[in-house]
Chain A
Amino acid sequence: MESSASPETRLMKGNEALAEAAIRAGIHAYFGYPITPQSEVLEYLALEMPGRGGVLLQAESELGAINMVYGAAGAGARVMISSSSPGISLMQEGISYMASAQLPCLVVNVMRGGPGLGTIQPSQGDYFQAVKGGGHGDYHLPVLAPASVQEMVDFVFDGFRLAEKYRTPAMILADGALGQMMEKVSLPPANSLPYPEKPWATTGKPKSRERNIITSLYIEPERMEGINLQLQQKYRRMLQEVRYETIETADAEILLVAFGLSARISQKALELARARDIRVGLVRPITLYPFPTEIISALSHRVNSVLTVEMNAGQMVEDVRLAVNGHCPVYFKGRMGGMIPSPEEVLAEIEAIDAQVEQSA
């Protein structure tokens, strides 16, 4: 156990950095079940939490784990759960229940290639699942997409802030490469994330108030619609949390849109293209929900083409097309099943688009 009064710099794997951040963010509990490529989260916490406080439990399954999260969150605990794609699929029922019961928690998906059990290599194939609901019913989660080990740390704090502010499960959508790679990270001091009041939590009924009830079951449709209206109002308020990064967009003629690891690869492609005098810019959505529609829409009036790069068959590109709304052509480059597009592959797409524009000019 170490003292952690001020920020400190370390070289860490993404998964371990995220786990360390969770401890420093003051989690009361973590529930999980091992799966590659995120097992280091559970392993790190299993080593560290007994000495530093909090409950760690390796559940009998992902279903068990997510329902333990429901229980802990209902009791007012700050609680995290992590897994990788197939495990996250198993948790969807519980996540939907928590969205309905308005329970804050942080869910981390270190994505691997699918569908099915798939592969253990990195992927972004769970974009739809993460941003369009995932489980049943009309709900959304705020979704943060880290692109560096530093963001694996920072977004634990941001994730809990969002979860607790909006009383909702929040998600960090990372991938196997971000989990396994090492980078320099600056770790915030422990206990630097204040605990909000949770007057709704089931902490034992004092005489001074009515009983708190946490449920997602409302048999009368009138009441259920009321809950839905409340949720939708919350999701509209959540739009103000939109975050993105722009790189060299000022004079861009071709705009790349990519998140997470794909954004890092796209940035390298941007550098290669700029060295060949092709004016490329990049928008990196940091929140995938809410999606940075406005900036993409605004830039689509200034560029001549948009290229979306993802490690899937084309998921975020649908949201990009909605934002561009026909103002310019939207192209897509993707690899699937655990394959990662190389910067040169992305550059080839950029050059092909550039050649086409030149020809039609």
Chain B
Amino acid sequence: MNTAHEIIIAGFGGQGVLSMGQIIAYAAMMEEKEISWMPSYGPEMRGGTANCIVIVSPTRISSPIITQFDSAIVLNQPSLDKFGKAVKPGGLLLCERSAILSPCTRTDIEILSVPAFEEAQRLQKKQVANMIVLGAFLERRPIVSPENVLQALKKVLPERHHHLLPLNEQALQRGKELAHEFAAVNAAH
């Protein structure tokens, strides 16, 4: 990756959007890249949308706060309404399928929609939905290597949850497959 990648990850507080961003940031740090992780903070985290802006760059990052993104990952409708229009032309919009009631109609960006919540239920752990989404994202935008993502996961996941590492790895893998399946279905249409 020779250029910067600017990402917004948004959803409800508790869905793991901040830790998703941290995992990308840790993985990028291991690859000697420049990074910034800027969370929304404050009362809006309870009930409203929580989000973080993650920038991964080969060179020094100027503003950690930006309004146009190469990729937007949205886990609820308010986040799509707010950030769907902030994706740069040619960029990627990744949505959690069941959370979106009125999908984005833009034709100048790549849209990927994955049923992460449903798949997480299937894995018997709804908390790994964010890892499924992350797996799908990295399949489309391999800005960090899968090995480093697993290393980063160890950093972000508190040690008392480390028995869940294999499950998280499985979720990342499932996300990757879902991205493929979505592409295959879209190609068939």
Contact = CB atoms under 8 A, between A and B. Distances in A.
B29 A343 contact: no
B41 A37 contact: yes
Contacts of B39: 180-181
Contacts of B155: 11
A37 B41 CA distance: 9
Contact of B29 (A11, A340, A342): A11
A181 B55 CA distance: 12
A120 B66 contact: no
B65 A177 contact: yes
B139 interface: no
Interface stretch (A137-145, A232-240, A260-268, A293-301): A260-268
Contacts of B67: 342-344
B63 interface: yes
B35 interface: yes
Nearest to B65: A340
Interface string B35-68: 1111101110000000000000000001111111
B77 interface: no
Contacts of A267: 62-63
Contact of A342 (B22, B25, B66): B66
Main secondary structure of the interface of B (DSSP, over half): mixed
B41 A271 contact: no
Contact of A182 (B36, B65, B68): B36
B26 interface: yes
Interface residues of B, number: 21
Interface string A1-29: 00000000101000000000000000000
A177 B64 contact: yes
A184 B29 contact: yes
Contact of A268 (B25, B29, B38, B62): B62
B36 A181 contact: yes
A86 interface: no
A349 interface: no
A269 B37 CA distance: 19
B42 A181 contact: no
Contacts of A344: 67-68
Interface string A226-248: 00000000000000000000000
A58 interface: no
B42 A121 contact: yes
A317 B37 CA distance: 29
A354 interface: no
Contact of B36 (A183, A269, A340, A342): A183
Interface in A332-361: 340, 342-344
Interface of A: 9, 11, 36-37, 119-121, 176-177, 180-184, 261, 264-265, 267-271, 340, 342-344
23 contacts: A11-B22, A11-B26, A11-B37, A37-B41, A176-B41, A180-B39, A180-B41, A181-B38, A182-B22, A182-B25, A182-B35, A183-B36, A183-B37, A184-B34, A184-B35, A264-B63, A264-B64, A265-B65, A267-B62, A267-B63, A343-B62, A343-B66, A344-B68
Interface of B: 22, 25-26, 29, 34-39, 41-43, 62-68, 155
